[in-house]
A and B are shown apart, each in its own frame.
Chain A
Amino acid sequence: MINSIFLQFLTGIQLGAIYVLISLGLALIFGTLGVVNFAHGAMFMVAAYLGVVISQAEWGGWGMAIVLVPIILFVLGLAMERGLIRFFYTRPHTDQILVTFGLAIVLQEALKWGFGANNLPFATPDWGSGIMRLHDYLPFLEGFVAYPKWRLILTAVSLITVAGLFALLQFTTFGLVVRAGMRDSEMLRLLGINISQRFAIVFALGVSIAGIAGVWGGPVTQVDPGIGMVFLVPSFLVVVIGGMGSLPGAVLASFIIGLAISFSATIPALANIIVYLIAILILLFRPRGLMGQKGVME
């Protein structure tokens, strides 16, 4: 009994950890720049493909993939913001959605063209493969309890990323400016702070986190051209449930969703729609989301 509850809990946390990684960048970009990036899922997908390619290349390997993919995605994000998104700040919001949606299609179809429509095998590295015997460490577990090692590593990476981002925002001048920008970007502009340069970095940072999600999460999800869209919807819901523009909200919502899915897994009919049901309840009873600021997007 205790074993199954513990495993469900662990699975919930681990699912939540993936959702956090994917939705954190989305929430950051939305909260700071007010841009809803429909191509965010596609960024995750690109990162996963890059992960496969680099980790399996002769010149590459897993270590290189872990380092390179987030960097490449950061550069990609910079290019995307400078080359595309910045022209859309003054356009209607729907245009931002449309153009990022178009980009998502183009990226998806391009990868389909290059790699085919099928799922690419994405093997975990040796040091991350196999299982971990949890009962060796946790005395309250009864008998033999094991968990895939990679999923535990993924969870740890996710938590470290969250901590890193929060530290960056909390303890650096850059973070101070970004947080101020989330409150009132007009004010910052009046203070003469070069917002547009910071916008580019924030955008790239958000995309880079999707890169971390792609390379670490790829082995447990799938790597196929449809994966971006598959993850886009739940990460939107995370942002809605957590509160538009709230990073702590996104983290909290991710784990709530992960746990809800995990604990309802015994009833498949429910597990498939539980995320939506939570979102509906939130919309009905707390429209600004769990931790959304009053008046923001309400």
Chain B
Amino acid sequence: MNSANSAFYKKDILPVGAFAAVLLTMPFWFEYVGGYSGLDTKIVIWIIFAIGFDILLGYMGFLSFGHAAFFGTSAYFTGLMLLHYSDNILPAIAVGVISAIIMAFIIGFLTLKRTGIYFSILTLAFGEMLHSMVLSTLQDWTGGDNGLTGLPTPMLFGLKMQGDNVFYLTVIVAIVMYYIARRIISSPFGLMLKAIKSNQVRLEYTGVHVARYKLMGFVISAVYAGVAGALMIVYEPYVASEFMGWHLSGQVVIMSVLGGVGTLFGPMLGAAFMLYFENVVSVTIGEQWLLVLGAIFMLTVIFLPGGFVEAGSKIKKKLMGGSK
């Protein structure tokens, strides 16, 4: 709530600039911390997913256990477009994201009338419904258990979407979407979302059509999931049925909470941590990496509800206190 616009934009330049700098330089430093090419792209895709999820969970206060529905719907439609229409990624991504939006309107309409607990249960249920549909009911289209295979190499105006090309595409999309998210959060609309988390009843009695704000907040988070789902297919032209499964929904929940919800930065950090943990650290831990991660997750929920971000600010406070 700055009074001058210039100050407002300055507020965004530093974090978005830093975010861009870290992502854009990733190919140069990532391998020195044990990463490998390709994993960086995946991390960026998950960061996009996590940003949108935080708008819903961290700001609006709704814990969805079915966000795979939007990631997966978009992934399938992107894959189907690449397979049957054109290997150009633009129409494929567009159709993928639009399909996620439509799905979000339907699921949101059915689930958002309810309180937080009900919402979590129902989103999980509808997510699993779509999962079971792609596995059986729609398997002629989706390839069932095997997933959607045989996709062509995605193209963008004659450019093969492989390796670095995909990486820089996803990075650019991520920077733009991070900036958009920051704007949404600091807008009056974002204030309404925070008010929903704080006190829905008061908001209703302040003359605000709470149901519509909830639905739009939900759809916005689904757009992020849809973009992430579509980019995942561009990155690796194969649609796995797990993209619809609760595992994927659970993953975005875990990374967001680990990082610290309601901060945008936290879930992004959580996404990076989780993929790094899954793909790099797991080499040393072995099969039990998910057990360890689950334990870390539980401990975080119990002792550190604010996640890494809270831990960071606590450490910072201590250091500052010590230097005095």
A-side residues, CB < 8 A to B, are 34, 36, 84, 87, 91-95, 97-99, 101-103, 105-106, 108-110, 112-113, 229, 232-233, 236-237, 239-240, 244, 268-270, 272-273, 276, 279-280, 283-284, 287, 297
Give the segment of B32-40, B89-97, B166-174, B283-291 that binds chain A.
B283-291
B-side residues, CB < 8 A to A, are 57, 61, 63, 65, 110-111, 113-118, 120-122, 124-126, 128-129, 132-133, 135-137, 246, 250, 253-254, 257, 287-288, 290-291, 293-295, 297-298, 301-302, 305
Interface centre among B111, B125, B126, B287 (most CB of A within 10 A): B125
Q: What are 13 A-B contacts defined by CB distance under 8 Å?
A: A92-B116, A97-B65, A98-B63, A102-B301, A105-B291, A106-B294, A113-B291, A229-B246, A240-B118, A244-B118, A269-B136, A283-B122, A297-B115
- B301 to A98, Cβ gap below 8 A? yes
- B124 to A109, Cβ gap below 8 A? no
CB nearest neighbor in A for B299? A102
Query: Nearest Cβ distance between residue B257 and chain A, in whole angstroms?
Result: 6
CB nearest neighbor in A for B261? A94
**A-B pairs with the 9 shortest C-beta distances?**
A105-B294, A109-B291, A102-B298, A276-B129, A106-B294, A269-B137, A94-B63, A236-B121, A102-B297
Given A233-B125, A284-B110, A297-B115; A94-B120 close (CB under 8 Å) = yes
- A106 to B291, Cβ gap below 8 A? yes
- B121 to A106, Cβ gap below 8 A? no
Query: Nearest Cβ distance between residue A284 and chain B, in whole angstroms?
Result: 7
- A97 to B120, Cβ gap below 8 A? yes
**Within 8 Å CB of B288, what residues of A?**
109, 113
A-B contact count (CB 8 A): 107
- B116 to A94, Cβ gap below 8 A? yes
Query: Nearest Cβ distance between residue B163 and chain A, in whole angstroms?
Result: 33
**Within 8 Å CB of B294, what residues of A?**
102, 105-106, 108-109
Given A102-B301, A284-B110; A237-B125 close (CB under 8 Å) = yes
Query: Nearest Cβ distance between residue A44 and chain B, in whole angstroms?
Result: 16
**Within 8 Å CB of B122, what residues of A?**
240, 279, 283
**Within 8 Å CB of B302, what residues of A?**
84, 87, 99
What's the Cα separation between A125 and B84 when bound, in Å?
A: 54
Query: Nearest Cβ distance between residue B112 and chain A, in whole angstroms?
Result: 11
Given A97-B120, A105-B294; A268-B136 close (CB under 8 Å) = yes
**Within 8 Å CB of B133, what residues of A?**
272-273
What's the Cα separation between A237 and B126 when bound, in Å?
A: 10
Query: Nearest Cβ distance between residue A89 and chain B, in whole angstroms?
Result: 13
Query: Nearest Cβ distance between residue A118 and chain B, in whole angstroms?
Result: 14
Given A99-B298, A102-B297, A103-B298; A276-B125 close (CB under 8 Å) = yes
**Within 8 Å CB of A283, what residues of B?**
110-111, 122
- A236 to B124, Cβ gap below 8 A? yes
Query: Nearest Cβ distance between residue A18 and chain B, in whole angstroms?
Result: 18
Given A101-B250, A106-B298; A273-B120 close (CB under 8 Å) = no
- B110 to A99, Cβ gap below 8 A? no
What's the Cα separation between A36 and B65 when bound, in Å?
A: 13
**Within 8 Å CB of A93, what residues of B?**
115-117
**Within 8 Å CB of B115, what residues of A?**
93, 297
